[in-house]
A = this chain, B = another copy of it.
């Protein structure tokens, strides 16, 4: 049988190559990582708050959210992960979780043991750097999310998230005719944006009535890309989707 690992891990490798230069041997090391496949159900934490993990979770298909919560149980989604994303690569260095991972729609994930990731990182410094860089990009997205929550009004927040997802789905080839997967319901969207579901609904209506974008049927359609970006005050640089964007000390 052909090793099925290659096809599962290819999107992860592609993600790394978007931002880091890797030699053929380093690439092969990524593709040779061991993993287990799991189907995860909606609304079930497959990584729980406060546990200690020994593996990281690669999103193969679906949509995964990183949740944090206040003691009284109000949840905030602090990150969204689409296929090709490693949802908790940072757990390699911080295995005791202060977050939970939950599928926002039925999803497939591949779990990769930390021990294997650490072994490869130790063998190939450039790979270690690539992992670190990927976590730094996650942090960059988190920081822009904080700007969104702290400084933008509800309409701009929704528009901003749409713009971000458009870029990220485009980067994995899932943008067709300005349509992208949008597998979040309005409650989950509120948990990302710090809004109530009711208000999310009103803002989606506002975007629709302004002719900027529509969300129907697990799909978002962008009607006026320039207008949406302007409403969102969007600048895609923080997503670091082009290796040309940077030239690090590791060339």
Contact = CB atoms under 8 A, between A and B. Distances in A.
A245 interface: yes
B142 A235 contact: no
A52 B147 contact: no
A248 B95 CA distance: 6
Interface stretch (A1-9, A65-73, A161-169, A206-214): A65-73
A68 B99 CA distance: 24
A75 B143 CA distance: 12
A83 B75 CA distance: 32
A122 B147 CA distance: 34
A93 interface: yes
A136 B237 contact: no
Interface in A123-149: 125, 128-129, 131-133, 135-140, 142-147, 149
Interface residues of A, number: 63
Contact of A248 (B50, B69, B93, B150): B93
A211 to B, nearest CB: 21
Contacts of A74: 151
Task: Give this chain's copy count.
Answer: 2
Nearest to A70: B233
Interface string A87-112: 00010111110110000000000000
A135 B139 contact: yes
B93 A133 contact: yes
A95 B19 CA distance: 12
B194 A149 contact: yes
B147 A69 contact: yes
A76 interface: yes
A125 B118 CA distance: 9
Contact of A149 (B144, B150, B250): B150
B146 A78 contact: yes
A132 B78 CA distance: 20
A96 B246 contact: yes
A138 B139 contact: yes
Given A78-B143, A142-B146, 5 more contacts: A52-B246, A76-B151, A94-B137, A95-B248, A98-B238
A142 B149 CA distance: 12
A76 B147 contact: yes
A128 B121 contact: yes
B129 A249 contact: no
Contacts of A138: 139
